[in-house]
Chains A and B, each alone.
Chain A
């Protein structure tokens, strides 16, 4: 046995990246997933977006509707990919992998956050797809390196947030069948009660209030601020970041607490 003393924080960071690394190593064996995922944002932008832009049905101020929803669709596709991450966790539980990791000295929070980050990095492909479609549709994008870096970070954080949320749900429901049901029930309300495809100003008062409690709203606002050439933030970019970071931290802590349930 080689038990050397390692500072808990160093160990936590190190182990988080070990988990992320191996989650990503699995990815190189399967690329079909990347292709099938591209379909959904394409449909939303090319069909839904085109129709609503043509009719002028949405009042999105001084930016065209397609420009308005491009970041919204990116946020949505990040949400949709990340929210089903819990399925993998349940699958690993049915196999016995979760039990083995939990019997190792790895900090629970590192197991949870490591998986979250890997979901974040996996989801980056959605950014590439939405940028490609936006170019095609003539959306005026902000190409400054700082803006692109921000978008990159926001995608990773948002996917970490929603995949950890998904993991928390998995810890409660524990079976794939129930998870699929709950996942479906959660994604649509999160999506519709946000500013992804229409401005919150159009919403009735109660829905507007709900949307302000929805982390996706802040993800969309942050993406809209950074992605578009001329867009102003509703809540301020730092506030968006604050909400995303605090929510993620809380979810990781809750997830770390609940994760051992999967071994019983």
Chain B
């Protein structure tokens, strides 16, 4: 039995009368690549915000690396890395400085900081650009720097909210190559949301499909495809579970933020 690194139990979040996440229960094993899929407004981002302690749940809870998100938030924060959907590195600092500040905030031992930063830059193929201002980086470089920044402290779980939104196919492949390498080298569990089914298909060990705040399907891509009968693709699975969703969730602010992110990265 593999070690469970993420255990979600009846996780629920309401905003007024609207239930964004409705009694979500699932667990993720250490070292797994886990994709959370669903149409806009399905509750994916709200789920990630609760798991990263940014948003308190209305009821239910979760344990991340053994720490409760409601009562041991600092423990959770030490154990995770988080790459938000929006651009989260600072354009007015260099790539190196963006990493240095996080090395310090996560209490990396002083004598290890430089080695870790150098390693992270090397790993993400950013060594040559370390001293340049991030404002001059391309979209793919920004995402790679963000991943380097969130994994400097070797988190057990890395949460990524639509990590490849707004990137061209080549940059997307590069980001995934680095993510897969990271899992191989450090055993990092990857928990991410995406709209791209082909990414889920080629990289995920298991996926979950959310629909209107509820978990509708959970399993490997093959299992889910087989569950609809022979000859079905992941696209059929997605349409089957989430296809009837009305586009209710995203408000103006969320949409403009997403477009702005895409623009900044692209």
Q: Contact partner of B107 among A4, A21, A22, CB < 8 A?
A: A4
Q: Which of chain A's residues have a CB closer than 8 A to the CB of B54?
A: 99, 102-103, 260, 263-264
A104 proximal to B (CB < 8 A): yes
- A95/B97 in contact, CB under 8 A: no
Q: Which of chain A's residues have a CB closer than 8 A to the CB of B257?
A: 94
Q: How far is the CA of A103 from the CA of B101 in the complex (A)?
A: 14
Within 8 A of A (CB), among B38-71: 49, 52-55
Do A22 and B88 contact each other (CB < 8 Å), given the known contacts A1-B155, A263-B54?
no
Q: Contact partner of B82 among A1, A30, A94, A100, CB < 8 A?
A: A100
A3 proximal to B (CB < 8 A): yes
Task: Tell me how far the C-beta of A25 lies from the nearest C-beta in chain B, rounded to whole angstroms.
Answer: 6
B80 proximal to A (CB < 8 A): yes
SS class, residues of chain A in contact with chain B: helix
Q: How far is the CA of A2 from the CA of B85 in the complex (A)?
A: 27
Q: Which of chain A's residues have a CB closer than 8 A to the CB of B90?
A: 22, 26, 97
Q: For the complex, count residues of A whose C-beta is within 8 A of B.
A: 30
- A1/B156 in contact, CB under 8 A: yes
B234 proximal to A (CB < 8 A): no
A54 proximal to B (CB < 8 A): no
Q: Which of chain B's residues have a CB closer than 8 A to the CB of A29?
A: 92, 133
A25, A30, A103 interface centre (most CB from chain B within 10 Å): A103
A-B contact count (CB 8 A): 90
Q: How far is the CA of A42 from the CA of B239 in the complex (A)?
A: 65
- B88/A97 in contact, CB under 8 A: yes
- B93/A25 in contact, CB under 8 A: yes
Q: Contact partner of A15 among B77, B105, B108, CB < 8 A?
A: B105
A105 proximal to B (CB < 8 A): yes
- B150/A100 in contact, CB under 8 A: yes
Do A3 and B78 contact each other (CB < 8 Å), given the known contacts A99-B54, A103-B52?
yes
Q: Which of chain A's residues have a CB closer than 8 A to the CB of B133?
A: 29
Closest to B100 in A: A22
Q: Which of chain A's residues have a CB closer than 8 A to the CB of B102?
A: 104
B232 proximal to A (CB < 8 A): no
Contact flags A5-16 to B (C-beta < 8 A → 1, else 0): 010000100110
Closest to A6 in B: B107
B154 proximal to A (CB < 8 A): yes
Contact flags B108-142 to A (C-beta < 8 A → 1, else 0): 11001000000000000000000001000000000
Task: Tell me how far the C-beta of B199 lies from the nearest C-beta in chain A, rounded to whole angstroms.
Answer: 20
Q: Which of chain A's residues have a CB closer than 8 A to the CB of B112?
A: 2
B74 proximal to A (CB < 8 A): yes
Q: Contact partner of A104 among B49, B77, B89, B97, CB < 8 A?
A: B77
Q: Which of chain A's residues have a CB closer than 8 A to the CB of B84?
A: 96, 99-100
Task: Tell me how far the C-beta of A138 lies from the nearest C-beta in chain B, rounded to whole angstroms.
Answer: 40
Q: How far is the CA of A264 from the CA of B78 in the complex (A)?
A: 20
16 contacts between A and B (CB under 8 A): A1-B78, A1-B156, A2-B109, A4-B109, A15-B105, A22-B90, A22-B93, A29-B92, A95-B86, A96-B86, A99-B88, A100-B149, A103-B53, A105-B105, A263-B54, A263-B55
Given contacts A14-B104, A22-B90, A264-B49, 14 further A-B contacts (CB under 8 A): A2-B108, A2-B109, A25-B97, A30-B92, A99-B82, A100-B82, A100-B150, A103-B52, A103-B82, A104-B105, A105-B78, A105-B106, A106-B105, A264-B55
Query: Which B residues lie at the A interface, using CB under 8 A?
Result: 49, 52-55, 74, 77-80, 82-90, 92-93, 97, 101-102, 104-109, 112, 133, 149-150, 153-156, 257, 260-261
